[in-house]
Amino acid sequence: MNILVFVKQTFDTEETVVVQGGRVSEDNVRFVLNPYDEYAVEQAVQVKEEFGGEVTVVAVGQERMEQALRTALAMGADKAALVEDDGSLDEYGVAKVLAAFARRGTYDLLFAGQATVDGASAQTGPRVAEELGVPVVAAILRFTLEGDRAVVERDMEGYSERLSVPLPALFTAQQGLNEPRYPTLPNVMKAKKKPLERLTLEDLGLARERLLGRTATVECFVAPKTRQRRMLQGSPEAQAQALADELRRFVLPD
Amino acid sequence: MADQMWLEELRSGVRRICNSFPDSYWRELDAKREYPQAFVEALTKAGYLAALIPEEYGGSGLGVTEASVILEEIHRCGGNAAACHAQMYTMGVILRHGSEEQKRRYLPEIAKGNIRLQAFGVTEPTTGSDTTQLKTTAVRRGDRYVVNGQKVFISRAQYSDLMVLLVRTTPLAEVRKRTEGLSVLIVDLREAVGKGLTIRPIRTMINHATTELFFENLEVPVENRIGEEGQGFRYILDGMNAERILIAAECIGDGRWFVERATRYAKERVVFGRPIGQNQGVQFPIARAHVHVEAADLMRFRAAALYDAGKPCAAEANMAKLLAADASWEAANAALQTHGGFGFAEEFDIERKFRETRLYQVAPISTNLILSYVAEHVLGMPRSY
C-alpha cells in the first residue's frame, strides 16, 4: 500500500496571534505539525502497519516546515519531501503543487488533515483530489480497508455517513479519527536519519506565476473585542420589552 | 552545541506528551500528594528517561544537553520532572564505575523502564551535605554486607526498584583521608523492604515523594557493590555535575512558565480601566525575571556543552544551578505578585509551582554550598566549612 500524506506546519494552538505591519507575526512563535494532520499521519501509519507499504509525507512552504515533516517521520512515516516556497501561495497554488508531487508517484491512498488550524479553509485536500481526478471524502471519523475499497465514516455535524470508496482516493482526517501516537525518543532519533527530499517548484515543472492565487489579502487585523454591557432598567415588563427590541434590532438592522 | 532544530524537535516530542497532562492533572495529584504514575509511565514508554543510556545498552545515547532540554520542557509545560528525573541519571554511577556484568544486567532493563532506579541514598539526619561524616555502615560478612543506619530525604524510594546507597565500609578513624572508606551499593528495594529496610514517607510542602530509610541488619550481596570498596565518594561526586545541569534546566523551565503566566495575566487583567501590565511597577519585575532566566540559560548550555565534550565543568555546572534556581524563584515571586490574590488560589497553579520551585534553593544542593564551592575552588579563597 503506497500512501501519501499532505501536511503543513502551523502555529501551536497555545500561541497568541499578534498582527504586526498588516500580517501575522511569526516572531518567537512555536510551530507544530497541524493538529488535524496528526490524525492523517497516524491513519497512514496504522494502515502501513497492518497492510505493509510505505508512507510519504509532503509539505509546501518555508524551511521551517522541515520540523513538521520530522515529527511525521518520528510518528512512523518513511520518507518526506519539502517543496520549498515562501509560504505565500493560497489553497489554489498549494493544491497544484501537492498534486504535481503526487503525480510523480503512484499512490493507493492519500490523506490530509480536514483543515489547517491557521487558514482553516478546509480546501486544500478536496482541491488536490480534484486536480488528481480521484474521489475525496472530507472529515472522516473512521477508516477501514475492505479489499480494494475503503469504508469510511464522515462527520456530518450531528450525524454520520458511511461510504464505500474505490481506491485510489483522498481522505481528510477529522479530530477523533484515531489517537495520534507520541513520537518516542528512539523514533525521534530515527527520524533524523530518514530521507527528506528538497524540491523546488521548477523540479516539479511548475511556473510560480501560474500558481498565484485569485484572491488578494486587503487587510489583516485582529477583530476588536466588542464588550458592550447595558443594564436594563424598570419593571420586569419594561425590561422584557427593551430586551425584545434590542434583539429585533440585532436580527433586523435598520 | 547541538543544533537548534534538533533540540526543538526534542522539545516538541516532550510537549506532545505533556499536553496530555494538563495543569489540572498536577493540581489534583498535589492536593492528594500522589505520585504522577500515568505521566511517568507515558514518559518512560516514549523512551525519554533512557536518553542518557548508551545505545549499546538500549538507550538513546544522548548528551546532558539533550537530557536537560527534555526536563526543561516538562517544567516549561507546567509539570514537574522531579518524580522521575533521577531515572535518567542515577544509572550514571553504574555506567561509569560498574562492572560490565552489572551494566549488562541493569542498564537495558532501566532503559526499557522495566526497572526503576531513581533513588539515591546519601543524606542522613545528622550529616546532610557533610557527606564524608555519614554514619550508615556496611560490614562485610562473607559474600554479604550487613547495613545499619538511617537516611533521610531520599526521594522516590517507594517508587523505585533499585537504590544506589552510599555507606561507610571502613570507619573514619581507620582511613587516611575522610573521603576514603565509603562504598556504593545497589540495594534491591523489592527484596529489602521488610528484611532490614523500613521506608517511611515524609509529607512535605510540595508533592515530592520523599522518605526516611531505616536499615537494621540489611544484607546486600557483595556483587552489588559498584567499583572498589572504599572509593565510593569519588564515584558519586562525578555524577553531581550532570545533576546540577539537569536541575538548572528544570529551573529554567519553571522560570519560563512563570514569566509566561505572569505576562499573560498582566496583559489580560484590567484594573482602573487598563491592563495592570501597563504599569511599570508590574511589568519591570516580570521583565527582570525574564532577563535572569535567559542569562541562566546561557550558563546552563555552556555547562552542558563542556560536560558533553568531556571537559571539566564543575564551576559552570554549579553556577548554572545557582543562577537558574535564583531566576526561577525570582520569576515565581513576580508571578505570584502579579496575580495578587488569585496567585494564592490553587486553580491558578501559581502557588503550586511557587512551592515547587522554592525547593531548588535547597536541593539537591543549597545555594550557600554553591557559593562556598565557587569561593574556594574557583576564586581560591580559604575553605569556609
List per-residue pLDDT tens for chain A, 254 residues long: 999 999 999 998 888 888 888 888 888 888 999 999 999 999 999 999 999 999 999 999 999 999 999 999 999 999 999 999 998 899 999 999 999 999 999 999 999 999 999 888 999 999 999 999 999 999 999 999 998 999 999 988 888 899 999 999 999 999 999 999 988 999 999 999 999 999 999 999 999 999 998 788 888 888 877 777 788 889 999 999 999 988 888 777 66
CATH of residue B285's domain is: 1.20.140.10
Residues B363 and B261 grouped into a single domain: yes
Residue B353's nearest CA partner among B244, B260, B275, B282 is: B260
Nearest-CB residue to A185 (from B8, B47, B264): B47
Residues B73 and B161 grouped into a single domain: no
CATH of residue B85's domain is: 1.10.540.10
Residues of chain B with pLDDT under 50: 1
Assigned domain for A250 exists: no
Amino acid A9: pLDDT? 96
Amino acid B2: pLDDT? 55
Residues B54 and B187 grouped into a single domain: no
Domain count within chain B: 3
SS (H, E, C) chain B: CCCHHHHHHHHHHHHHHHCCCCHHHHHHHHHHCCCCHHHHHHHHHCCHHHCCCCHHHCCCCCCHHHHHHHHHHHHHCCCCHHHCHHHHHCCHHHHHHCCHHHHHHHHHHHHHCCCCEEEEECCCCCCCCCHHHCCCEEEEECCEEEEEEEEEEEECHHHCCEEEEEEECCCHHHCCCCCCCEEEEEEEHHHHECCCEEEEEECCCCCCCEEEEEEEEEEEEHHHEECCCCEHHHHHHHHHHHHHHHHHHHHHHHHHHHHHHHHHHHHHCEECCEEHHHCHHHHHHHHHHHHHHHHHHHHHHHHHHHHHCCCCCHHHHHHHHHHHHHHHHHHHHHHHHHHHHHHHCHHHCHHHHHHHHHHHHCCCCCHHHHHHHHHHHHCCCCCCC
Domain count within chain A: 1
Measured distance between the N- and C-terminal CA atoms of chain B, rounded to whole angstroms:
36
The C-alpha cell at A55 is 508512507
Residues B271 and B214 grouped into a single domain: no
Nearest-CB residue to B9 (from A30, A67, A182): A67
CB contact under 8 A, B47 and A66: no
Rg of chain B over all Cα atoms, to the nearest angstrom: 21
The 10 Å Cβ neighbour count of residue A172 is 28
- Domain, as residue range, for A114: 2-210
Assigned domain for A175 exists: yes
Amino acid A254: pLDDT? 60
Final residue of a structural domain among B94, B112, B130: B112
* Whole-angstrom distance, CA of residue B308 vs CA of residue B321: 17
Residues B239 and B358 grouped into a single domain: yes
Amino acid A253: pLDDT? 64
Q: C-alpha B57: how far from its chain's center?
A: 23
Final residue of a structural domain among B112, B146, B168: B112
What is the nearest CA distance from B261 to chain A, expressed in angstroms? Answer: 12
Q: Which residues contact A95 (CB under 8 A, 6 or more apart)?
A: A123, A124, A127, A128, A130, A131
Q: Which residues contact B132 (CB under 8 A, 6 or more apart)?
A: B172, B178, B179, B182, B233
Final residue of a structural domain among B230, B247, B277: B230
Backbone angles phi, psi at A151, to 5 degrees: -110, 120
CB contact under 8 A, A66 and B5: yes
* Whole-angstrom distance, CA of residue A141 vs CA of residue A162: 10
Residues B23 and B39 grouped into a single domain: yes
Q: C-alpha A10: how far from its chain's center?
A: 9
Catalytic residue selected from B124, B243, B330, B351: B243
CATH of residue A60's domain is: 3.40.50.620
| In the block, residue with C-alpha cell 548508551 | B54
CB contact under 8 A, B13 and A192: no
Residues B102 and B131 grouped into a single domain: no
CB contact under 8 A, B13 and A185: yes
Assigned domain for B340 exists: yes
Residues B252 and B340 grouped into a single domain: yes
What CA–CA distances, in Å, run from B330 to A85, B88, B285, B323, B336? 43, 27, 8, 10, 10
Give residue-wise pLDDT tens across range B309-336: 999 999 999 999 999 999 999 999 999 9
Residues B137 and B170 grouped into a single domain: yes
- Domain, as residue range, for B138: 117-230
Mutation target among A37, A69, A175, A189 for the B interface, most CBs of B within 10 A: A189
* Whole-angstrom distance, CA of residue B363 vs CA of residue B127: 14
Assigned domain for B123 exists: yes
Residues B125 and B213 grouped into a single domain: yes
Active site residue B28: no
Tell me which amino acid residue A28 is: N
Beta pairing, strands B210-221 & B274-275: unpaired
ipTM of the complex model: 0.85
Residues B81 and B164 grouped into a single domain: no
